[in-house]
């Protein structure tokens, strides 16, 4: 059952104050245009083509829905899920059984699973860095410069797991003039039986640390949600959530040609488990439910990216390097049977660490715009699943021996890629595109079977892959606990396209392409 909100009123206390003349002038110009609708209609640019300069969304031969900061603010977008309402053929929901885990689908292509080792069909990129797993992806949006939703295969420029499309999130850069923003929002329930208050407080301070050389920014965001459902088992509200986000950024200009941009973010989230309704107890049209395990989801994420841009005379181009690091740890518990009895409860542990690097060049040679690059990605993933199934406990088993099912696995995952794309202007209005990407992927995994055993954890390294567990031996089991395996794959991703501009505001484009999902 999806989490629903019943809102009676929404009171926003917002202060978006700029202190310097240039920003004051920009604010006056915005006010002169009229209202929020005018802000939404101003020019929106996209970075999805990975060229030296961002492009007008009206000019790119991609099915894309793009949002700038003003648009996101006018639409009151606060989470990734909110973007679904403004993006055609796009569903950006969480998986339902584990809040915060993406169940993204674009044009019907998606993967519905909370198991971390199952690769997605929609790739998510934050500041140019690919997120290797779906877990911890559905987060509150805070301090963004733009969002781009790309529909259709994006394997040429973005690589693996973009068969359905890609979601590109770009954090706002530090400003070169001092500014700060603060906002508080409070949402109340429609009545006393529908839960409590949802409140958010956020603030950002940005400006120069050394004029013309170094800019900096810090920001914080906190949301608390008291829940919007009543659990009939104990009468408590359900759906509680607390989310804290801390951000920092530095942008350094050592020379006129060279720029370094460092972004760091820490997320801490604690939420109730899934709100499950068992239709054997409640009518289809009812929102009532009763579970004896409210569950939880507890996660921490550290994300760091370092972008380096260097302008070169060769093709009047730019060399860009994006180094990314992410560390994610999460525990979750859910009442799978969705009844007031303990029939099937689960607990999962996930630990993921990834590092990636993309080095690319973009430049112009006469009528040809060239983009080419190299890509590297590596992640380690540990996953433990615990299933509490007391109804399956053998009657002859002594009560002193626990009856829980433990299992999971560990995976090492490496990807290499090389790509090139050329847009050639046959005429000022007719552009031909030719592109090719080579990708190589390798996965090595240790798998532990889910079976009854004494408490163990793959994440902590206490759950054996080989050999017999003492509990299994007591039950007469002789098969091994698990196995190790691995495989590798490679793929060529081509693209051939044509784009024609009928007028300044009307274009037609078509392309033949293949998109690499994964091995």
Q: What would the pLDDT profile of 412-468 be if each residue is shown by its tens digit?
A: 999 999 999 999 999 999 999 999 999 999 999 999 888 888 888 888 888 877 766
Q: Which residue has the tokens 């569903």?
A: 91
Beta bridge partners of 312: 317
Cα–Cα distance, 339 to 347 (Å, whole number): 17
| Residue 337 is assigned to a structural domain of this protein | yes
Indicate whether 497 pLDDT > 80. yes
| Residue 100 is assigned to a structural domain of this protein | yes
Residue 320 CA, distance from chain mean position: 23
| Residue 518 is assigned to a structural domain of this protein | no
| Residue 397 is assigned to a structural domain of this protein | yes
| Residue 2 is assigned to a structural domain of this protein | no
- State the residue range of the domain holding 217: 7-513
Its sign, for the CA torsion 59, 64, 69, 75, is positive
| Residue 160 is assigned to a structural domain of this protein | yes
| Residue 519 is assigned to a structural domain of this protein | no
Beta bridge partners of 151: 63, 165
Q: Give whichever of 31-40, 271-280, 300-309 has the largest mean pLDDT.
A: 300-309
Query: Structurally, how many domains does the chain consist of?
Result: 1
Indicate whether 6 pLDDT > 60. no
Q: 282 burial class (0-12, 13-18, 19+ CB within 10 angstroms)?
A: middle
Read off the CATH number of the domain in which 108 is found.
2.40.170.20
Provide the pLDDT for residue 421. Answer: 96
pLDDT category, 515, cuts 50, 70, 90? low
Alpha-carbon separation of residue 113 from 110, 145, 163 (angstroms):
10, 30, 17
If you average pLDDT over residues 246-267, what whole number do you get?
97
Cα–Cα distance, 397 to 385 (Å, whole number): 22
Q: Is the pTM of this model over 0.85?
A: yes
Indicate whether 18 pLDDT > 50. no
Provide the pLDDT for residue 303. Answer: 97
DSSP state string for 170-204: EEPPPPSS-EEEEEEEEEEESSGGG---EEEEEEE
| Residue 1 is assigned to a structural domain of this protein | no
CA nearest neighbour of 126 among 154, 104, 107, 145:
145
Reduce the DSSP state of residue 37 to 3 states and report it: helix
């Amino acid at each position: 059952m999806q989490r629903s909100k019943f809102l009676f009123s929404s009171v926003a206390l917002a202060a978006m104050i700029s202190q310097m003349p240039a920003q004051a002038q920009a604010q006056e110009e915005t006010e002169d245009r009229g209202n929020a609708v005018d802000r939404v209609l101003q020019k929106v640019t996209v970075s999805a083509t990975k060229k030296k300069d961002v492009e007008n969304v009206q000019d790119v031969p991609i099915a894309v829905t793009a949002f700038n900061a003003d648009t996101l603010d006018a639409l009151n977008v606060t989470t990734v899920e909110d973007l679904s309402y403004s993006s055609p053929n796009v569903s950006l929901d969480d998986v339902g059984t584990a809040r915060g885990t993406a169940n993204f689908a674009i044009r019907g292509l998606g993967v519905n699973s909370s198991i971390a080792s199952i690769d997605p069909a929609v790739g998510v990129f934050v500041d140019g860095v690919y997120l290797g797993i779906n877990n911890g992806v559905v987060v509150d949006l805070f301090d963004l410069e733009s969002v781009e939703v790309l529909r259709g295969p994006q394997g040429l420029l973005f690589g693996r797991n973009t068969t359905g499309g890609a979601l590109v999130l770009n954090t706002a850069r530090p400003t070169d003039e001092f500014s700060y923003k603060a906002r508080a929002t409070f949402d109340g329930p429609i009545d006393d039986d529908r839960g409590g208050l949802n409140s958010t407080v956020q603030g950002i301070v940005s400006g120069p640390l050394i004029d013309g050389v170094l800019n900096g920014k810090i920001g914080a965001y906190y949301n608390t949600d008291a829940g919007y459902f009543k659990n009939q088992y104990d009468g408590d509200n359900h759906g509680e959530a607390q989310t804290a986000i801390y951000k920092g950024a530095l942008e350094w200009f050592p020379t006129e040609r060279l720029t370094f941009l460092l972004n760091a973010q820490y997320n801490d989230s604690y939420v109730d488990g899934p709100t499950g309704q068992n239709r054997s107890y409640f009518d289809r049209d009812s929102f009532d439910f009763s579970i004896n395990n409210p569950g939880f989801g507890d996660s921490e994420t550290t994300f760091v990216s370092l972008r380096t841009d260097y302008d070169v005379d060769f093709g009047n181009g730019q060399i860009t390097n994006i180094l990314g690091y992410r560390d994610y740890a999460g525990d979750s518990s859910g009442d799978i049977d969705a009844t007031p009895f303990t029939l099937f409860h689960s607990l999962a542990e996930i630990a993921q660490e990834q590092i990636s690097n993309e080095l690319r060049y973009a430049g112009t040679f006469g009528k040809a715009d060239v983009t080419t690059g190299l890509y590297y990605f590596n992640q380690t993933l540990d996953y433990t699943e615990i299933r509490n199934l007391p109804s399956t406990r053998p009657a002859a088993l002594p009560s002193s021996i626990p009856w829980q099912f433990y299992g999971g696995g560990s995976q090492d995952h490496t990807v290499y890629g090389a790509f090139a794309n050329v847009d050639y202007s046959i005429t000022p209005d007719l552009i031909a595109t030719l592109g090719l990407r080579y990708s190589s992927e390798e996965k090595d995994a240790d798998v532990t079977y889910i079976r009854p055993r004494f408490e163990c954890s793959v994440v902590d390294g206490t759950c054996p892959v080989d050999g017999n567990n003492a509990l299994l031996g007591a039950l007469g089991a002789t098969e091994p606990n698990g196995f190790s395996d691995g495989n590798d794959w490679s793929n060529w991703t081509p693209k051939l396209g044509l784009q024609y501009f009928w007028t300044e505001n009307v274009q037609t484009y078509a392309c033949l392409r293949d998109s690499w999902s994964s091995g």
